[in-house]
Structure 1
Amino acid sequence: MRQVSIVALGLVFLFGIYTLLGGDTASYNLYGGKGSVSGSDGAVTHGGDHSKPWFPPGRPHPPPPPATNDKGRIVGLVFYGRRDHVKILDCYLQRNLKANGGLLDEIIFSVNTDNEDDLAYLDNELLPKRPHYRKYALEKHKGWLGQWGCVTERDTIYIKIDDDVIFAEDNTIAAMVKTLREKPDLFAVSANIVNNPALSWVHWHLGVFEPYWPEMTPPEKPLNASWRASELPSYTGPRDGPPEYKSDGSSPAPYKGHRWLPVRGKPENPPPSEEDNKVFPDPPYPASKVTYDAFGPSLRNWGAAAQLHYSFLQHLERGETWKYKFNIWDYQYDRVSINFFGIRGGDIMDCYPFPKGDDEGYLTVDRPRELRRHVYVAGEGLAVHFAFGPQYNAHEKHGLADTDLFSRYRAYAEEMVCPFPSRNSNSSAAQQLDAEAH
């Protein structure tokens, strides 16, 4: 019996050494469902139980290496319709052009608007100044589908970008392209999007959402245009939020241009008893209600969107965007929003025009399932999407639209991005690609 125990301990020891040396221990499940973590490429996967997909804690990550050198172009595809948003996005697009040290050979603005002012901005102000930008006129297909008609190059990787993407790190497109090229069996890859319904659940469990509540009355002094969260005053109201505000998003914004304030220290009115504290250990912040669901509260609750945006700006100021990052998230045929979405041209051309009017559902659920090819999230490629319709239009545009968040992102871009359309030549993506090729 003693000999058997010694042998068993020896096997356990050898297995541990094998694992530490990088051995593939196959998939393992931490919650008893179908969820797993692959041992070979670090991909985090999940199955039937969406309530608890496993996820490692946030930690610093080095920037991903550049996309591997490969034949074929990389083209940005902006679904265009709102000039105010694109004035911010343009600053990030310029930094991602190959001519400026990025990876994009060109950027196509696929237009879906009849607004004369929006069209005039694109035709008369933007395109004449940007030789690597061009316009595509919408085909006569229902909804957004016609905007995919400009995809005509099979070997090109297209990076589809919504016009209300208002932040992207320099390495975001490189992380997406690298993932696609290293995994040719993938159907598509998404950036790691802040304000993307199911990913908001992931970010919540990474612990990146900070405590914020709306400011219910306008401040006495005029507000400055700073994007920095450190310049906001502290929230001093009740622990569970302002009584007039409902954290499920069912109440409108208090006033146009209102701020959300960080909770620093202890708010007023803590739980009255130790027993209550056991039942309600944390305040009911809006972001605590997000779920792993493309159509859940994180899509519709404007307050949750406000909290996650203010949290991001706080981490951005502190240099803590690494807290959002991970390696790979495998969506396993679940729906993912395509706000910042990379796909090979051939995979669009083989099924366009799409057989259904929902391009997002078709490209992230139906077509991948049909081909048995997955959609990944490149966790190192961080970007921010401003608003979905239900968030922006809540309470007749008295929800997220009535925050000062858009002006904060604009202030950040004008200070930190727009003055620098070209990257530092010593760290340009193009030079890194050339170095790999040689």
Structure 2
Amino acid sequence: MSEPGSPRDDVEQKGLLRDSFDGIDDAEVLENGRANGHGHHKSRRSRSGDDWYRSRKIWRSASAWLRPRNMLIALVVLIVLAGLGALWHRPSSSGDSNAPDQTAPEKPKPSKKPHPVPVAGGKHPSVSPWKKPKGFKIIGLIFFGRQRTVEILDCYLKRNLVSNGGFLDEVLWVANTDNEDDLKYMDKLVQTSPLYKNMTLINLGYASVWEHAVDDKNMFIKIDDDMVYFSDNAIPDIVYTKLKHPETLDVVANLVNSPETGWLHYHVGAIHAYLPEMEPPKDQKPAALGPKAWRASALPQWEGDNMTFPLGDKGTDGVVLEDDAPGAPPFKGHRWLPLKEQHKNLYNTPISHTEYNAYGPDWTSWALAAQVQYSLLENIEKDQLDKYHYGGGLDLAREGIWDMKYGRMNINFMAIWGKDVLEAVPFEDTDDERFLSETLTRRLDRPLYVNTHAIAAHFSFRTQHEIFDSDLLSRWRAYANEMICTKENQIPTS
């Protein structure tokens, strides 16, 4: 019994007996008190009654929870509470559709990588990343005139027919010539595909051809007959851009050998240092010469003392340079060869004279035309056509758009609605290019866009006739035979 008047006596009087502490005796409490006090003994009598009672109660509660049965119950309770919490925070499928989905992954950021450009038929069996639109036809419109380049173009057109998985529902060949040999060739060509059709309009200017060749229900892809290359995605991409941006009057491919794009290609790093060989080669390896040669990697380096080549002084009327004139081709069938120290020596090559000018040297110089096309062949071989993808674009993930701001642009490879053409005929200008890219776009406030992912090579203007003395046409023929044409549609090489 405790002494009368002690704190213990007060507790017992309230019915809080020692047995209620589950057999924990004073010795245990005191021993723990010593341990907690680091060995310093303190009597119960030295504490206040409330402190003593509180410590005994806490110890009893802790001991009870440490029992296995109670620990198991606590664990079950925690698991149940966690499950209820998850259900509480999970959004209901029938609730507010704007509620954030905690389990949804973060929305991916738009890719800044350029849209992939297929470059070789053997490596890229799918010619189009887009599904062909329905409800109208996509018709290729070819102004026919030159057999030696049409032989190459034919392979690309057949590859892009709907019957081969492409976008072209049909191809309309419009002969604006009275040359009997050319007309016979066109008649023969049309027979090679049920989707080829022809139309002969003799002694009509290009502006007048439009009125007779188009209808008001379909989209037309106007392609010049001397387009010697275009990427597999070229037609789908300009069609896609035309549909996505109805505010445009026309959409043009990113043309290699064009006054409006040459300066841009130079400054974005797509052009490489090349100069013409000045004498016929002594070592004639088949990989670098001949009907199967197109790869830049097989070419020897340019050698010589005078590391430069003049553009040639001539006007814009198509006059051909004399054989001994500065800037004339060194000999027929010559190649253009890469220079060592490309970046340093690029400034010594014709491309250094390029201008952003529709009537500048890029239009008149055959040397510029040769250098940019040799550069394209190198970029094709290295699978680096993304070098041409300038233009921030209106959709970085899918497009590279260059707005011409109502300036003149070549329409060698262009998408346009037939309805827009027919509403403007007869053209008030005999120059259909100037009218469709400059005059009409400004009048209607409907710009011309260039899709820079759609790469297309234009062989020559009438002012660049000397380029036929190079071996470039045979190189484009070799590339097409290997990569584009079928075995049944090989281009003659002799």
User: Is the TM value for this pair above 0.5?
Assistant: yes
* Identity percentage of aligned residues: 41
| 3-state SS in 1 of match to 2:237 | helix
Asked if residue 284 in structure 1 is aligned to residue 348 in structure 2, the reply is yes
What is the match of residue 307 of structure 2? 240
Whether the aligned pair in 2 keeps the contact of 1:100 and 1:421 (CA below 8 Å) is: no
Asked if residue 208 in structure 1 is aligned to residue 270 in structure 2, the reply is yes
What is the match of residue 304 of structure 1? 368
Would you identify which runs of 4 or more consecutive aligned residues in structure 1 move more than 6 Å? Answer: none
Shift of 1:290: 0.9
Q: 1:183 aligns with which of 245, 269, 274?
A: 245
Unpaired runs of 5+ residues, structure 1, are 1-20, 24-40, 43-55, 268-279, 393-398, 423-438
Shift of 1:240: 3.0
Q: Residue type matched to 2:115 in 1?
A: H
Q: How does 1:2-401 map to 2 (within 5 A)?
A: 60-63=114-117, 65-66=129-130, 69-123=133-187, 125-138=188-201, 141=204, 143-222=205-284, 223-225=289-291, 226-238=293-305, 240-241=307-308, 245-247=309-311, 250-265=326-341, 283-326=347-390, 327-392=400-465, 399-401=466-468
What is the match of residue 16 of structure 2? none
CA distance in 1, matches of 2:165, 2:377: 26
Larger radius of gyration: 2
Whether the aligned pair in 2 keeps the contact of 1:112 and 1:138 (CA below 8 Å) is: yes
CA deviation map 1:183-226 (0-9, x unaligned): 11110000111111111111111111111111000012443330
Shift of 1:67: 5.7
| 3-state SS in 1 of match to 2:150 | helix
Whether the aligned pair in 2 keeps the contact of 1:228 and 1:313 (CA below 8 Å) is: yes
CA distance in 1, matches of 2:467, 2:440: 33
Asked if residue 416 in structure 1 is aligned to residue 489 in structure 2, the reply is no
Q: Output the TM-score relative to the length of structure 2.
A: 0.66
109 and 177 in structure 1: CA distance in 2 versus 1, 3 angstrom threshold = same
CA distance in 2, matches of 1:368, 1:157: 17
CA distance in 1, matches of 2:457, 2:214: 28
155 and 313 in structure 1: CA distance in 2 versus 1, 3 angstrom threshold = same
Unpaired runs of 5+ residues, structure 2, are 1-106, 118-127, 314-325, 391-399, 490-494
CA distance in 1, matches of 2:297, 2:203: 48
CA distance in 1, matches of 2:246, 2:252: 15
Whether the aligned pair in 2 keeps the contact of 1:186 and 1:375 (CA below 8 Å) is: yes
Aligned residues: 347
CA deviation map 1:351-370 (0-9, x unaligned): 11211111000001111111
Moved more, 231-240 or 300-309: 231-240
Shift of 1:322: 1.8
Structure of greater relative contact order (alpha carbons < 8 Å, 6+ residues apart): 1
CA deviation map 1:65-123 (0-9, x unaligned): 51673421100000001111111000000011111100011000011122211111111
Shift of 1:149: 3.0
CA distance in 1, matches of 2:240, 2:437: 19
Moved more, 158-167 or 322-331: 322-331
CA distance in 2, matches of 1:233, 1:416: 23
CA distance in 2, matches of 1:282, 1:187: 37
240 and 355 in structure 1: CA distance in 2 versus 1, 3 angstrom threshold = same
| 3-state SS in 2 of match to 1:264 | coil
CA deviation map 1:368-413 (0-9, x unaligned): 1110000000111111110011111xxxxxx212100000000100
Q: Residue type matched to 1:259 in 2?
A: R
CA deviation map 1:147-166 (0-9, x unaligned): 21344421311000000001
Q: Residue type matched to 2:478 in 1?
A: A
Whether the aligned pair in 1 keeps the contact of 2:272 and 2:342 (CA below 8 Å) is: no
CA distance in 1, matches of 2:431, 2:362: 20
| 3-state SS in 1 of match to 2:191 | helix
